[in-house]
């Protein structure tokens, strides 16, 4: 299971895409705290994913289509606009940047 922040998880759906450290993968399961993917042996061998250990940090990029749908619904007033992030010490610490 890969743990992820709510802002990533809201765009995650089973059989949807997620990019983990630049590698596009298919999501198998989504929970309140994270998601799971399957990594075939070839992908593990030819990418950095095969070197990862439990607890390692990875860069996540959620599916672009989900972001487009969310933006469209916000512009139509069917979803509230999300507030801009406050980048402070707490924000940076939660993401392992301090």
- Tens of pLDDT, residues 50-70: 999 999 999 999 988 888 898
Q: How confident is the model at residue 42, as a pLDDT?
A: 95
If you search the block for the tokens 């895409």, which residue do you land on?
A: 17
Q: How confident is the model at residue 79, as a pLDDT?
A: 84
Listed by start position, the domains of the chain span 2-94
Model pTM score: 0.74
Q: H-type helices in 28-96, by residue range? A: 41-46, 64-75, 89-94
Q: How confident is the model at residue 67, as a pLDDT?
A: 86
Q: How confident is the model at residue 98, as a pLDDT?
A: 85
- Tens of pLDDT, residues 1-48: 999 999 899 999 999 999 999 999 999 999 999 999 999 999 999 999
Find the helix or strand (DSSP H, E) in which 84 lies.
none
- Tens of pLDDT, residues 63-90: 888 888 988 999 998 888 877 878 899 8
User: What does CATH list as the number for 2-94?
Assistant: 2.40.30.20
């Amino acid at each position: 299971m890969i743990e992820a922040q709510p802002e990533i998880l809201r765009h995650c759906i089973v059989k949807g895409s997620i990019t983990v450290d630049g590698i596009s993968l298919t999501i198998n399961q989504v929970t309140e705290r994270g998601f799971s993917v399957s990594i075939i042996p070839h992908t593990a061998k030819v990418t950095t994913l095969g070197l990862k250990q439990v607890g390692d940090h990875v860069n996540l990029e959620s599916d672009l289509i989900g972001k487009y749908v969310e933006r469209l619904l916000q512009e139509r007033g069917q979803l509230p606009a999300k507030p801009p992030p406050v980048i402070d010490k707490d924000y940076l610490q939660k993401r392992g940047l301090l």
